[in-house]
Structure 1
Amino acid sequence: MSDTPAPARLSFRHWVEDRAEAAIFRAILALPYRRRIPAMGWFSRTILGPLAMNRRIKANLAYIFPDMPKAQVKQICRDVADNFGRSLIELHSGAEFARFVATQPLGGPGLAALDRAHAEGRPVILASAHYGNYDVLRAGLTARGFRVGGLYRPLSNPAANKRYVATIESIATPLFPRGNEGLGAMIRFVKSGGMLGFLGDQHMAHGEMLDFLGKPAASATSAAKMALKYNALLVPLYATRNPDGLTFTVEVEEPIPHSDALTMTQAVNDSVSAKVRAHPGQWFWVHRRWRHTA
């Protein structure tokens, strides 16, 4: 959490950028839900991907899969950008997205453990990744009646951040900003028996070097430490986008047994790695997960 920068002051540039972004989103949101999602996917893979994503995706793929054929690399670049665009407009669809997700079935061998924890008032740490659309998890579990909280990283643009927070709060609440501001409320929520979502697949400057997709990666152990400290379940879960581009398969895995923070975090890394290997186009390869890449 100490990696979170202090919020910036609102500048004229921030205001202009926010108004431009808001105008673009208003235009796309004017489309019916089932048309706007593929439309934003097309825009992202055709325009945003080549301009801003593909270089980083290719560098990460070359580091992890040096022998991957060029045709497969090209397809993954397209798939990652497409999924990013779809996820972005789904998030900005707010309550409409939440209502759609509420119709998606939940499954997996760990779902019964979540039901028991909810009935017993036992805390749960939900471990996921920038994969598929992770906000499906918050919305879907909330629709099932669970108390689900999430962490978010405030945007550097204060105007955009205000709009962003209002949108994601319309999907499900509570939400806690990363850093000292949200720490106390987050801990109280967990101790009260809530379910808290973590996305632990980004580079953490002060993390532990653990294996991720076969390479050492600085990994946050905070989810495992919270599970141990508050006797919470640590449960990996994912929302995989289906071939139709609109619906999802939500799978809740078995809870990770309590041991020590390093062992449990490695188990989370292994779980995420398995999902990425199975569906490489659904993980956000744009992050600098390994600082060795260009």
Structure 2
Amino acid sequence: MFRAILLRQVTRRLEIGGVLQYVCTPRGSIMARKGGSETETDGTTGQWLVDRALRMAIWSAMRLSYERRVPLFGALARAATRAIPNFQRRMLDNLDHVWPDRPLEERRAIARASADNIGRTLIEHYSMQELAQRMADVEPEGPGWEVLRTTQEAGKPAILITGHYGNHEMAFICLTARGISAGGLYRPMQNPFVNQHYVDAVAALGLGPLFEQGRAGMGRLLRHLRGGGTAIILNDLYVGGGIEMDFLGKPARTALSSAEFALKMDAPLIPFYGIRQPDGLSFRFVLEAPIPPGTPEEMTAAFNRSLEARILEDPGQWFWLHRRWKRKWQGGKGMVPGLHPAELPRQKSR
């Protein structure tokens, strides 16, 4: 009954990310058509409901001042981890996997801080105009900044590599303000409705081009680099086609593509971090020294050590929500016995 009522009401028009009109498909899923254009998004009713809740929260928060909405979304994210057991369990599983000797209360505190940072980062994404104003006076720092400037002045490509730490998106804003158009490689979200307005929020500010992960996106990214562009790549997610490398003391499947691009393009591979400051609203933009050329495995391992150092310095700034250490099925016949919950191909109830 509820589903039938819901599907009759999906012609509502909403504001965030442009006007979207929702219609029912013959399969009973929901399709979004943006602004009368031919761009369509097809997803499930459950995905639509999640998107509705998120849009309502964002719409409400945007009525507040920036100084109030950012902490509010941090608090909402902390509350969500308590209300949605899977979220908290995933973070605690990850923390137990890499730091089993740390007291449980300490791991819980890290999970709360991580959720707070995730919530703040999310609403900052939809507040990019105001974030750009706040970033106007933030000067990039670190040895990698001079390398990047010199490389760009010479018309040569550069690759900036980071992880889900602090807020990496402030780098796009900071670089754009200084005349550097940085393209970004991104992995689409599983929820297509959320993904659509998430990407639209970047496009609305006129930042550098975004390249969707995949063969076509990789091709456009390479063309961007060949033209002397700068690319920003996040390299701390599980990649099934990657290789197992040590990350925080545990094997994690990791992509080598960032290092391979740098070697192919003779481009510096520069680790960077948007480090959230104690006030929760401001940032430092730190570009470390470029990773020395070597094999893709050696260069990627060097980045892992760089990110690990940042996480150890302030673990609450990293997105512990991602399933970084999950393992692939062995030959399609089953899993290696005795895997930690953080390593399971799918999260299991405990």
Q: Does 1:245 align with 2:280?
A: yes
Q: 1:192 aligns with which of 214, 227, 233?
A: 227
- Once the 2 structures are TM-superposed, how far is the Cα of residue 97 of structure 1 from its aligned partner? 2.1
Structure 2 equivalent of residue 150 of structure 1: 184
- Once the 2 structures are TM-superposed, how far is the Cα of residue 240 of structure 1 from its aligned partner? 1.0
**Contact 1:8–1:157 at 8 Å: present in 2 too?**
no
Deviations 1:178-229 (A, max 9, x none): 1133222211101111111111111111111111111221111000000000
Question: Would you say how many aligned residue pairs link Structure 1 and Structure 2?
Answer: 288
Query: What secondary structure, in the 3-state scheme, does the structure 1 residue paired with 2:238 have?
Result: coil
RCO comparison, higher one (Cα < 8 Å, 6+): 1
**TM alignment of 1:1-294, pairs within 5 A:** 9-10=42-43, 14-51=47-84, 52-171=86-205, 172-291=207-326, 292-294=339-341
**Contact 1:241–1:249 at 8 Å: present in 2 too?**
yes
Deviations 1:108-139 (A, max 9, x none): 12111011011111111111000001101111
Structure 1: distance between partners of 2:108 and 2:127: 29
**Counterpart amino acid of residue 141 in structure 1:** L
Structure 2: distance between partners of 1:201 and 1:61: 15
Structure 2: distance between partners of 1:122 and 1:146: 12
Structure 1: distance between partners of 2:80 and 2:45: 26
Structure 1: distance between partners of 2:83 and 2:47: 25
Distance 1:13 1:74, change over 3 A: closer
Structure 2: distance between partners of 1:272 and 1:282: 11
- Once the 2 structures are TM-superposed, how far is the Cα of residue 62 of structure 1 from its aligned partner? 1.1
- Comparing 234-243 with 21-30, which one deviates more in the overlay? 21-30
TM-score (ref. length: structure 1): 0.92
TM-score (ref. length: structure 2): 0.78
Structure 1: distance between partners of 2:68 and 2:51: 24
Task: Could you tell me which runs of 5 or more consecutive residues in structure 2 were left unpaired when the two chains were aligned.
Answer: 1-39, 327-338, 342-350
Structure 1 equivalent of residue 29 of structure 2: none
Structure 2: distance between partners of 1:236 and 1:79: 23
Query: What secondary structure, in the 3-state scheme, does the structure 2 residue paired with 1:254 have?
Result: coil
Query: What secondary structure, in the 3-state scheme, does the structure 1 residue paired with 2:252 have?
Result: strand
**Counterpart amino acid of residue 80 in structure 2:** I
Q: Which runs of 4+ in 1 moved over 6 A?
A: none
**Counterpart amino acid of residue 103 in structure 1:** D
- Once the 2 structures are TM-superposed, how far is the Cα of residue 11 of structure 1 from its aligned partner? 5.0
**Counterpart amino acid of residue 55 in structure 2:** A
- Comparing 226-235 with 184-193, which one deviates more in the overlay? 184-193
Decide which structure has the larger Cα Rg and report it. 2
What is the RMSD of the two structures over their aligned residues, measured on CA atoms? 1.8
Instruction: Judging by fraction of residues, say which structure has more helix.
Output: 1
Aligned-pair identity in percent equals: 40
**Counterpart amino acid of residue 255 in structure 2:** A
Task: Could you tell me which runs of 5 or more consecutive residues in structure 1 were left unpaired when the two chains were aligned.
Answer: 1-6
Structure 2: distance between partners of 1:54 and 1:155: 20
Query: What secondary structure, in the 3-state scheme, does the structure 1 residue paired with 2:179 have?
Result: coil
- Once the 2 structures are TM-superposed, how far is the Cα of residue 48 of structure 1 from its aligned partner? 3.3
Deviations 1:236-258 (A, max 9, x none): 00011111000011110000111
Structure 2: distance between partners of 1:87 and 1:121: 32
**Contact 1:94–1:170 at 8 Å: present in 2 too?**
no
Structure 2: distance between partners of 1:81 and 1:227: 33
